[in-house]
Structure 1
């Protein structure tokens, strides 16, 4: 089993902690904002910290706040979170190929804490990744997110009531902040976001389904359509190349 001793200079755990510090610092403002918005949404500090501990997924937690504010049911929130985080299956499968052999409980523990950022750092390591490195890397990110979520809630509790109520606007600003960088990298994301918005608007304004289910359905439909178009485009390109 991997050596977790912090005192050892070349300890894999120590190297993981060092690699994760920049991620932990990067999570600071986002987690802080989440905690503040959770307070304005009506969550207690215990619920806020518990959500960060159990879910530990920034975008999904922000979406959950929006759904909670709408009074959406628990099933819709769980399904939406599952869809948003389905990429974690691929990330975990990829890291499983690079990670050293270890007991299943250890793998389950560090795979729970994998995020886009920690995956990027781990996936770029040369050779096999030790269990110690993965625990060090992920624990720093996890601790930062959980702690600063609670700190954000405490800060939110000290704000004037009027300012707390107006913070709901920041939730939409955060969604834009999360979406725009992805849209710059890929037109596929642009079409996905646009289709999702159109479907959700149709379902909601047409009163075809509740707010929570409209988000789940719009997300699934837009993802299926965009992927179908991508497959057809690649198939057509392959046929053209053969000719």
Structure 2
């Protein structure tokens, strides 16, 4: 991939848009599905688009739909979304190291909002520094695609028969399984994390804890425990080496 332009201006912005075109195409079917499921979950068109505008995080929005479907409160949804997206602190910090020294903190804060796993990957692969213009072009292309197709998915869902709309709630769980299975195949850590989280969630739910808090606590505990075990194992291997 070519070197990001160090100077700002339209040329850098256009380069960012060009780099984000593939991401925009890839987001289209995912955003359509989100909009469709949002409609069948009970969200209005305004709520569906507003979530995409403000949250702009595919996995978190799907999780939010699931939590809304089971009647989870706002605090639990916010905490779960925060936990899922906490990695964005690291993404933003990494991109900050690649940012042009000419970009002020305001510009960096604005395009940090638009960082996703995909836009981060594209920016991180660029040689040299990336400018605010490039990042704005890259993020804007992905952002517009996500929001636009979220709305189109809601429109499509509104035209489905009522019986089919109600049955689409099953598709939400199927999608989570589809997202989890590939990552489990290549990582034992992911398998243990998923199993541990499921076990904690079952225990908390059977203990009478609300579904929302069960998910929040299960996610936190499983993440901390598995990461602690991995860290201890790595230290043990280093000691033996």
In the aligned structure 1, how far is the partner of 2:105 from the partner of 2:237?
43
Would you say the 8 A contact 1:36–1:152 is kept in 2?
yes
TM-score, scaled relative to structure 1 = 0.94
Partner of 2:57: 57
CA positional deviation for 1:185: 2.9
CA positional deviation for 1:25: 0.4
Compare 143-152 and 173-182 and name the one that shifted more. 173-182
Which string of whole-angstrom CA distances, capped at 9 and with x for unpartnered residues, describes residues 152-175 of structure 1?
A: 000000100000000001101111
Compare 171-180 and 108-117 and name the one that shifted more. 171-180
Number of aligned residue pairs: 235
CA positional deviation for 1:103: 1.8
Partner of 1:166: 167
Would you say the 8 A contact 1:76–1:212 is kept in 2?
yes
Partner of 1:113: 114
In the aligned structure 2, how far is the partner of 1:185 from the partner of 1:147?
33
Task: Give secondary structure in 2 for the equivalent of 1:17.
Answer: helix
Partner of 1:151: 152
CA positional deviation for 1:2: 5.0
RMSD: 1.1
**Aligned counterparts, 1:76-91, within 5 A:** 76-91=76-91
1:141 is aligned to 2:146: no
CA positional deviation for 1:44: 0.3
Segments of structure 1 that go 5 or more residues without pairing to the other structure are 6-10
1:4 is aligned to 2:5: no
Which string of whole-angstrom CA distances, capped at 9 and with x for unpartnered residues, describes residues 175-214 of structure 1?
A: 112212222332111111111111111111232x100000
Would you say the 8 A contact 2:8–2:131 is kept in 1?
no
In the aligned structure 2, how far is the partner of 1:238 from the partner of 1:120?
30
Which string of whole-angstrom CA distances, capped at 9 and with x for unpartnered residues, describes residues 85-143 of structure 1?
A: 00000000000000112122211111000000000110011011111111111111110
Would you say the 8 A contact 1:2–1:131 is kept in 2?
no
CA positional deviation for 1:236: 1.0
In the aligned structure 2, how far is the partner of 1:228 from the partner of 1:240?
18
Which string of whole-angstrom CA distances, capped at 9 and with x for unpartnered residues, describes residues 27-71 of structure 1?
A: 000000000000011100000000000000000000000111111
Task: Give secondary structure in 1 for the equivalent of 2:130.
Answer: coil
Segments of structure 2 that go 5 or more residues without pairing to the other structure are 1-5
CA positional deviation for 1:4: 3.5
